[in-house]
Amino acid sequence: MPAADQEKAIVLQDLSISLENYSVVLDGVQLEMPPKEIELLYFLASHAGKVFTREQLLEQVWGFDFFGDSRTVDVHVKRIREKLGERQSWQLKTVWGVGYKFEIHS
């Protein structure tokens, strides 16, 4: 089991995402984010580089019993991007025609 799964936290140079206490810290400042935004960001960051469709994200983050629209994912990604801003070392990227991925730049 990867360390991120055991600790329920992902730590990058300027970003920390924790499911232990549902927090996102960017540049040392804790951001206010609803639980689903944190869960979505954590899921994508814990699978960095892998592209997920909206349907896969709904299934993984919202669960099988979610009956909403797949555009729910788009709205959450937009809100996360607004809170995180632009970064050189990583980004929440749209893969047109497919879905989204969390990309870490070296």
Domain tally for the chain?
1
Contacts of 36-40 with C-beta under 8 Å, sequence gap 24+, read: 36/61, 36/62, 36/76, 37/76, 37/79, 37/80, 37/83, 40/73, 40/76, 40/77, 40/80
pLDDT digits (tens, 9 = 90+) for 14-66: 999 999 999 999 999 999 999 999 999 999 999 999 999 999 999 999 987 77
As a whole number of angstroms, the distance between CA 72 and CA 57 comes to: 10
Q: Which domain holds residue 43?
A: 3-104
As a whole number of angstroms, the distance between CA 26 and CA 68 comes to: 30
Query: What does the pLDDT read at residue 6?
Result: 52
Task: Output the domain CATH number for residue 9.
Answer: 1.10.10.10
pTM of the model: 0.89
The answer to whether residues 73 and 58 touch, using CB atoms and an 8 Å cutoff, is yes
The answer to whether residues 70 and 51 touch, using CB atoms and an 8 Å cutoff, is no
